[in-house]
Amino acid sequence: MKVILFQDVPGLGRKNDVKDVSDGYARNFLFAKNLAKPANETALKSLAEQKSRVEKEKSAESQKFSVIVEKLKSLNLIFPVKLGEKGRAFGSVTAVKIRDSLKKQGIAVEKDWIILDEPIKTTGENMVKIKFPQGMEGEVRILVEAE
């Protein structure tokens, strides 16, 4: 019996996969736990429409992220930091500060997308990677200056 999976089933397949399983397994386990439905003609058509819609959304999102990556190449973010007597910084530049600064520039990114091993506490120039969904990456130049 062919079934369409509603969610990932370990050892069987991923969400929206069409799988061929035994009748008993389908009726007693997959249908009973609402993990799958029978793969009839109408269900297969709606699945194909759904997959094409999701693909279009991914394409549009990918295009949006590529535009953002191009903007990031020409962008310099400047952060003034107070320095103590011995040149040590009071405070640091964190992913949240970078996100907020990008937001002021009209670029919306998530804090989790900013790849920063540790906060920046030294003056100078730093390149910070931003990893977007769908495997896209960009870099932004961070300039930390003494206040």
User: What is the domain-level CATH number for residue 91?
Assistant: 3.10.430.100
Domain end call among 60, 78, 105: 60
For residue 78, give both structure tokens.
């400047």
Are residues 39 and 6 located together in one domain of the fold? yes
Are residues 138 and 77 located together in one domain of the fold? yes
Contact 64, 108 (CB under 8 A): no
CATH code at position 55:
3.40.5.10
Per-residue pLDDT of the chain (147 residues; tens, 9 = 90+): 999 999 999 999 999 899 999 999 999 999 999 999 999 999 999 999 999 999 999 899 889 888 889 999 889 999 998 887 777 778 888 999 999 999 998 888 999 999 998 888 888 899 999 998 878 899 999 998 888
**pLDDT for 120:** 87
Q: Which residue in this structure is represented by tokens 């200056």?
A: 145
Domain end call among 44, 60, 76: 60
Are residues 30 and 74 located together in one domain of the fold? no
d(CA 123, CA 52): 49
Domain that residue 12 falls in? 2-60
**pLDDT for 85:** 77
Nearest to 91 by CA among 100, 102, 79: 79
**pLDDT for 134:** 79
Are residues 81 and 21 located together in one domain of the fold? no
**pLDDT for 81:** 87
Are residues 70 and 135 located together in one domain of the fold? yes
Are residues 35 and 70 located together in one domain of the fold? no
Strand partners, 7: none
* Total count of domains within the chain: 2
**pLDDT for 147:** 80
3-state DSSP: the chain helix, strand, coil percent, rounded to 5?
40, 30, 30
Q: What is the 3-state secondary structure (H, E, C) of 39-52?
A: CCHHHHHHHHHHHH
88-125: b or e for each residue (b if 16 or more CB lie within 10 Å)?
A: ebeeebbbebbbebbeeeebebeeebbebeeebeebee
Indicate the pTM of the whole model: 0.67
